[in-house]
Every structure is written in structure tokens, then in C-alpha cells.
Structure 1
Amino acid sequence: MSEVHLNQIDPYNYKEQEEAFTAGALSVAALLNHKFLEPRYQYSRELDPIVGVSFTGLFDFFVHAFGVDWLRWWEEGRPATPQGLAFKREEEKYLSSWKDIVHRVVWDYCDRHNLKRPNRCTTVQPSGTKALLTNASSGWHPPKAQRFIRRITFGKNDPVALACIDYGYNVIPSQSDKDEQGNLLNDPFDSRVSEWLVEIPVSVSWADLPGADEIDVSKFSVLAQFDFVLQVQRWYVTHNTSATLELRSDEIEPLGQRIYETIQNDEGYISAALLARFDDLQSFPRLPFEPIDKSTYNRLNQEVKARRKTDDFCAVLSRYDLGEMAEAGPSGCDSDKCMFPDQQPSS
């Protein structure tokens, strides 16, 4: 699979869009040359070759394309008004054109290299981690807020976390680090702490558009989300669309009715996870994403700059990562959540 980061692309630069999806298509088509050592995998590939070109940052892309009026339409629930239908036609044009590019490029590559054509080439894969690399809203999903505190988990004294401290970011103990009474610990250097949360103030690329602050994206209805993911599935995706629909308790019945209608009307295949929204952030402290307002965002950024000891993050990371510190995060792991104790070889 490959992934196009739409938040990095100009909505009005169609040549750039074609180049991006062409690159994504070629990068997956080339993998069809791979020969599996396991015979049954190779046999499956020969029967049904599968590739997937995905994207992330779609919501950001459409905000830049259509402006704050598109956000207001979302706030209203994406109703079938004349303006809403016009927005849907524009969404369809973008999604369909990208799908056409992907299939044309993949199939042309296969024809030129005598490979069997995949009959479906587009998907939206889970994109939480990779989306963060370019500050994109994940996949097709709306962001959690225009501005938020992003908390990333590291092992205590992890080289990256230590570099983040020198760069000015705040570090606190994780949600799992508590005292004997079950209270959250506050000192990251407490001996009882095993994991750190690095707090980074973040804003989306369109946060400062006039009028954007007036819209609470966390209030977007589950039916609006469902409508949008159906657009993505109908006009771009030929595999499956990774989707997490967020809802409140009073939305369960309307969503159930809408799903029933979708099945009855044969409106297209969809597979989605459901996630309850919690409006009381105090019930779940130190969340990975905590929405904040503009003044809090500006204040936190000023505090980061005041604490900053260096402007060269790579240089300070190299110093910590060369083993100069007595402690470091667990080695040999591809995840910051890998906290298995070191295994000593038996004699």
C-alpha cells in the first residue's frame, strides 16, 4: 500500500494531484513483481493481485478547497440543500478523478510488464500514525479540534523524549503511572514513573481561516460522518474505507436507522468502528488529543519557546541517541509501547 498526504497538496493544482496519485500508484504496482517464498501466497497473488493506494488529510484538503462554508455545512449535518448538493458534486469530482488516475497508472504498468491487472486498487487505510508526520487529519476523518494538545507516549528517558525536553516541550507521567492511592503522578522524574507523555501544542493548517474558530468540529454529528464516508467509499475506494464513527448516546438510534436504510437501498458497502464521544475531559485526563482554544494554544507555544534550549532538534537528538545517557528507552523495539523487560540468555 501507499499513501498520498492530501494536506500537502494545493486543491487547485491538478497537475500536482495527478503526479502524487501517479507516484502512489507506481509504488504499489511495482510490488506486484515480488515473488513470495510461500507457495500458497504466490498462488493467491496470481489468482487475485491486490494493491492499495490510500490517502490521508482529505478533510483538510476539502476545507482548503471549499472554505469555511463547507465546515458550516458539516455543522448543519451535511443536508441535501442546493449548496450541499453542489459540495457533494465537487467532492465526487475530486474523488473520482483520483481513483481514475490510480487505476489507469496501475493497469498501464501491469500491461507493459505482463502482470495480471488488480481489479481494485484504491483504499483508505488506518492512518493515525503516518498522518501525524505531516499534521494531517487522519484518512477522511475530521480532526479532533482546530487546536489541541497532542500527547505522545515514550518510555522514561527515551532519547527522543529527552530531546523534546531540550526543545521546550513539556513532559508529564503517563496515565498508567499512579501513587499508592491511585492518584496520577505529576513529576516525570519520580522513581515510580515508567512512561512519559510529551505534550505538543498543535493546530490544523486551516485553523486561522476567518470563521473557522466559530465551528466546533467535535460536535459534527455521526450522520454527517456517515454521509461523508459513503462519499469516499462510493467515489474513490474499491477495497474498504477505514472508518471510526464517533457518536453520543442520543445518536445510536438515528445511526442504526440510517445503516438499515443504507442496506435496504443498496447504497454501497461500508465497514466502520463506533467510538463513544466523551465531552467531560476531566473524566479521562491526559488523553492523546485534548482540544484547546486559540489563547491556550498561543500561551503553550510561548512557554515552549521560553523553555527551549536549542533550535537544532536533530543535533540534540543525536547527542542523546549516541548512548551518553545512563538510561534510555528499550532497544530493539519498533514501538514506544514495547516495555518488555530485558531477557537474559540462558546458559
Structure 2
Amino acid sequence: MGPHNYKEQEEAFTAAALSVASLLNHEFVEERYRKSRELDPIVGVSFTGLFDFFVIAFGVDWLRWWEAGRPETVEGLELKRQEQEYLTRWREIVHRTVWDYCDRHSLKRPNRCTTVQPSGTKSLLTGASPGWHPPKAQRFLRRITFRKNDPVALACIDYGYNVVPSQSDKDENGNLLNDPFDPRCTEWLVEIPVAVPWADLPGADQIEIGKFSAIAQMDFYMQVQKFFVRHNTSATIELREHEIEALGSSIYEAIQNDEGYISAALLARFDAHQTFPRLPFEPITKQQYDQFKQEVELRRQNENFHAALSRYDAGYSMEAGPAGCDSDKCLFSEQK
């Protein structure tokens, strides 16, 4: 939806609100769930791709403001005001729609109707940035974990995507395997080149998204938490060691001042990609992206992904699809 098409935005959030409001008609079998619903009925309308939306709305100047740490200059305060207007408008549409539905169907009104849930693989593969978060880069290689010979992964091969063994598959010397059909290989990584919708915006390539400060991320997360979300915002703030003190102070102040902060996950940034090969997200240049896209098209044996999938899976398999977790933290070995 376009940033200046307010009618389309209202229709989208109204549809989302109605889809969750209808769930309040569900009757739980479990007594404790019924009691919880009676005491505190809740629903959650979420979004993804917010960062992309604001880049398109405000242009490269918004990215440069992020690069500077989102300072509260005259221009910065105006950008924050406009962010707040969008977020507040969407929240009010959701609450108005849900409450109207409840009143018409004699249901108890939820007092919280908005959230930002963790973004799954499907939304990321559309090229949308995850939830409120900045993308990993303007262009990146997305690696999704599948079990070996998974029907979806086999269809991906026919469609032209490259497949390599996962990070857990190594030879007797501890070296990563390279052949996905090696008998020692148990999991596959499907590599998909992805570009954000604004990747070709003039000047956008000069912005290093991977260097956005933890404080800037915290500031934007709190915008979403204050002005849209009434549950909790799924948030992962990426930081470097020298940012720990400042971020800690920012979180402490948000709690002390009762600004609505609930929780955020913290993740150390991996600047040396060679130290962690085959990451779920690997930033790439425009030249690499164009090359990978060309290689995908050259390898492609079937232009129709659904037809390719039908070759390997006649119906829906409970085991088919991406692994339950392929995030950065899953790369660490489990402590015994």
C-alpha cells in the first residue's frame, strides 16, 4: 500500500482487524482458556515491512537520519512526528473496527488489539523487511534450512535456487561439506537472493544499514511500542560491545519513565562473515545480486514453482517446509 494512499491503508487495517475480531467467536474446550477469554479477551493485528514503508514515504533523507543515529534535530523531530501519525492512525483504525464488531455481536471488547509479531520466512521472502526492523542490507542472500530431500527444497532446486549443506554438516576434519547430496549431509540450505523494494532508490546504496546504532534501533522500536502496539513488540536489537552501556541506560530510562517498554532481545552483530559461514542472512552487493539472479535463471528447469512442488509432494506434508528455527542464535552449539 502506498504511503499517501490513506484509503488503501484504512481498508488493509480494517480487513486485518475484522479477521482477528472474528476469532473472538471461538469457544474453547479447555475451561482455563474460556475463563481467560472472559476475563481478558485479546486479539493482535500486526504488520511487517514498516521500515520499507517509511523509506518509500520519506525517501533517502530518512535513511541518512537513521545513519546519524536518529538525532532529535528540527528535521528529526518532524520525521518522528510523521512516523507517530502513521502508527497512531493505524492503531485507531484497528481498535475502532474491533470494538464496533464486538458491539454488533454482543462480545466483550478487548482492550488491546495491536502487536508486532515475529516475522516468519514467508514474509521475508517477499522482500519485506521483518516487522519494524531494518533489513540486513539492501540486498542479501537468504538461506533457509530444510531437511535433506525435503519436497519444497527439491522444488527450489528445479526452480533454480542453489542448495548447499547446512552449517551442522561437516567431514571428519570438521570442514563444512559442499555437496548437498553427500551421504553425510543431513540438512540443506536453500540460497535465495533478495532485494528490498527500495534497493534501487538513488543514494540508498551509500547507506550502510549494518552500521545503524543500537540506540537508533531502540528509538524506532519505542516509536512502534508507544504509538501502535498495545501488547508487545517483537524486537531484536543488534549491537556491538561499545554500545552496551548506552543501550543499557536507554532501556533503564524507558522503564523508569514508564514509556511502555516491555522487552527486547539483544543480539551481537557479526561483522566478520567469514567467521560464521553460511549465515541465514548474508549481505551482498548489487553486482553479486545481479549475478546470483542470473545464475538462478540459468539453472531453472521449471518456471512454475507450484508445478515443481507437485513433482515431489502430492499433498501437504506435515514435515515439508523450512526448519522450525534458522535464526542466527541457532548457529551456536547447545551447552550440555
Query: Does TM, scored on the shorter chain, surpass 0.5?
Result: yes
Alpha-carbon distance in 2 for matches of 1:334, 1:322? 11
State the Cα distance separating 1:322 from its structure 2 match: 3.6
1:264-319 deviation line (CA, Å, top 9, x unaligned): 33322231000000100011000110000111111111111111222122212211
Aligned pairs for 1:282-301 within 5 A: 282-301=274-293
Distance 1:100 1:302, change over 3 A: same
Helix, strand or coil for the counterpart of 2:47? strand
For residue 239 of structure 1, the aligned residue among 194, 216, 231 is 231
> 2:236 and 2:257 mapped to 1: Cα distance?
22
TM-score of the pair, normalised by structure 2: 0.93
Q: CA deviation at 1:136?
A: 1.3
Question: What's the counterpart of residue 342 of structure 1?
Answer: none
Bigger drift between 161-170 and 192-201 goes to 161-170
Q: Number of aligned residue pairs: give it.
A: 324
Which residue of structure 2 aligns with residue 259 of structure 1?
251
Aligned to 2:48: 56
Deviations 1:2-50 (A, max 9, x none): xxxxxxx111111110001001111111111111111221111111111
Q: Write the letter of the residue equivalent to 1:333.
A: E
The answer on whether the counterparts of 1:149 and 1:200 sit within 8 Å (CA) in structure 2 is yes
Q: Distance in 2 between matches of 1:130 and 1:332?
A: 17
Distance in 1 (alpha carbons) for counterparts of 2:268 and 2:323: 24
Contact 1:161 1:198 in 2 (8 A): yes
Aligned to 2:62: 70
C-alpha distance in structure 1 between counterparts of 2:141 and 2:221, whole Å:
26
For residues 22 and 73 of structure 1, do their structure 2 counterparts lie closer, same or farther at Cα, with a shift above 3 Å needed?
Answer: same
Q: Is the 8 A contact 1:247 1:277 kept in 2?
A: yes
* Structure whose CA Rg is larger: 1
Q: What is the distance in 2 between the residues matched to 1:180 and 1:331?
A: 33
Query: Are 1:199 and 2:191 counterparts?
Result: yes
Instruction: Tell me, yes or no, if the aligned pair for 2:150 and 2:320 is still in contact at 8 Å.
Output: no
Are residues 102 and 331 of structure 1, via their aligned partners in 2, closer, same or farther at CA, if it must alter by over 3 Å?
A: closer
What's the CA shift for 1:178? Answer: 0.4
- Per the alignment, residue 46 of structure 1 pairs with 38
CA gap 1:133/1:336 in 2 versus in 1, 3 angstroms: closer
Distance between the aligned counterparts of 1:282 and 1:109, measured in 2? 53
CA contact (8 A) 2:213 2:239 kept: yes
Q: Do the aligned residues in 1 keep the contact of 2:151 with 2:320 (CA within 8 Å)? A: no
SS in structure 2 of the partner of residue 153 of structure 1? strand
Q: Tell whether 2:325 aligns with 1:333.
A: no
Give TM-score, length-normalised by structure 1.
Answer: 0.90
The answer on whether the counterparts of 1:28 and 1:51 sit within 8 Å (CA) in structure 2 is yes
1:165 is matched with which residue: 146, 157, 161?
A: 157
Whole-angstrom distance in 1 between the partners of 2:321 and 2:190? 15
* Identical columns (%): 74
* CA-CA distance at 1:333 after TM superposition: 2.7
CA contact (8 A) 1:246 1:277 kept: yes
Structure 2 residue 246 is the aligned partner of structure 1 residue 228: no
- Of stretches 86-95 and 303-312 in structure 1, the one that deviates more from structure 2 is 303-312
| 1:313 has 2:305 as partner | yes
Unpaired runs of 5+ residues, structure 2, are 325-336
Tell me which of 53, 67, 72 is aligned to 1:80: 72
Could you tell me which amino acid in structure 1 is paired with residue 124 of structure 2? L
C-alpha displacement of 1:252? 0.3
Cα distance change of structure 1 residues 102 and 322 upon mapping to structure 2, 3 Å threshold: closer
Report the equivalent of 1:118: 110
Give SS of 1:107's match: helix
d(CA) in 1 for partners of 2:44, 2:3: 22
Deviations 1:49-103 (A, max 9, x none): 1111111110010011000100000000000011111100100100000000000
1:108 aligns with 2:94: no
> 1:131 deviation in Å?
2.0
Aligned Cα root-mean-square deviation (Å)? 1.5
Match of 2:329 in 1: none
